[in-house]
Amino acid sequence: MRILITGAAGFLGSHLCERLLLEGHEVIGVDDFSSGQPRNIALLSQHSRFHFIKADASKPLSVEGSLDWVMHFASPASPPRYLKLPLETLLVNGEGTRHLLDLAVEKGARFFLASTSEIYGDPLVHPQPETYWGNVNSIGPRSIYDESKRYAETLTTAYQQAKGVSTRIIRIFNTYGPRMDAEDGRVVTNFIVQALRGEPLTIYGTGSQTRSFQYVDDLIEGIRRLMDVEYHQPVNLGNPEEYTMLQLAKLIQELVGSKTPFTYQPLPQDDPRQRRPDIRRAKELLGWEPKVPVREGLARTIAYFRGLLDEALPQEIQP
């Protein structure tokens, strides 16, 4: 297949590109490095079937030749990043989604939207099934990301219904692994980097709020399976195993071998109190569930960041 992927230099986009290249497909990666990392493109560009376009995914793209898939993974995803780039985040998830859907129509391609568990907001239903409509503050600081992803889902659904585009929508729950940006401000990277540097681990609020963490390989497997199924409704992809922030911090301390103390900061506005996916739909539709235990996945991620902080490059993929 010939597949276009926006956000190719990002954490998730680069892993997806790698998986598809290793399967023998041709991949056109798009990124403007506003939140993606050039090192991820350096790894991919060694591959003869990878082509890169440096472009802003919120603007119309001109692509020569046929396409089988248009896959939209471009967007800042961590609160510190999208709070610094509020208009860019709104545009890439709004206008960017529309332009890429138009490209899919032009090429007769299928369209894949990377949405997020953030569309559930601070949920009043736990765990969260795809049928839950969410609890989002439409003018709060997190709405930049939450509402723009909700709109992206609406656009995707409208194009499927009005123009017959074959679409897929995934709602991604917290995902971690190698190639995350050490400075992106997400909880896993914060804790790992702080522990490796011997710095106090920053806990927001009391640390009793919960999240569910899936290793990146599990997510990519779920994405790949959904590509092969004709299904247009959203699908949760996440790990139902739930951790408080204090539990996660203590586990990372143990795996790093760190005894650094905790420091407590006020809880950010609209920060969800709990988050855990109901993955029954993914199990029934895709035969999918996460396989990598959190302890094992975190150990791999810590090893990656230990090398990164020692200025070692990630392992190269094979052409």
Contact 79, 270 (CB under 8 A): no
Using alpha carbons, list the distances in angstroms from residue 307 to 179, 301, 311, 315.
Answer: 11, 10, 6, 10
Task: Give the Cα separation of 21 and 173 in Å (integer).
Answer: 25
Q: Which two tokens stand for residue 10?
A: 């990002």
Candidates 67, 36, 71, 43; CA nearest to 224 is 71
Q: Active-site positions? A: 145
Task: Give the Cα separation of 120 and 124 in Å (integer).
Answer: 9
Which residues face 235 on adjacent strands?
170
Q: Which two tokens stand for residue 174?
A: 């917290």
